[in-house]
Amino acid sequence: MDVVLDSNVLFRIFISQGDIIDLLFHPKLTIYAPKRLQEEFLSNRQEILSKSHISQREFNTLCALLFSRIIFVPLEEYTQFLPQAKKILQSHEKDEDFVALALLKQCKIWSYETRLLDLGFGILTKQISNDLFR
């Protein structure tokens, strides 16, 4: 199963941890994300550390481990899908990269955002788990 990882899921993994980490390492799950997600995530390091109550060392270790499971795709690879993503999302610009990448990879976006779910682009953690563990 292929999915594009949304920012909110990655942030939740660090803050709540738990069973979602196991799901990330399922051998039948391929995870893509826009390269900018990695940059955005690392720029919010202090906020994540304060909310997750983990040490800097644990953060670095967990980042390395999780980032090794995510295929970070540069903007150039999905640029041609940005106009279609903009049209689909209308004024909801912050998710354009994720929708464009999902269009390129022809998969869903692992997200908790109602808008993406309502548009048919999102898939929840529970749905992914159900699909993988049937």
pLDDT digit string, tens, across residues 67-111: 999 999 999 999 999 999 999 998 778 899 999 999 999 999 999
pLDDT in tens, 4-17: 999 889 888 877 76
In the 8-state DSSP scheme, what is residue 74?
A: P
Dihedral sign from CA coordinates of 52, 48, 82, 101 = negative
The CA angle 27-108-111, to the nearest 5 degrees, is 90
Domain ranges in the chain?
2-132
CATH number at 2-132: 3.40.50.1010
Please state, in angstroms and rounded to a whole number, the distance separating the CA atoms of residues 28 and 2.
Answer: 8
Q: Residue 18: which pLDDT band, with cuts at 50, 70 and 90?
A: low
Predicted local distance difference test score (pLDDT) of residue 17: 65
pTM for the structure as a whole: 0.91
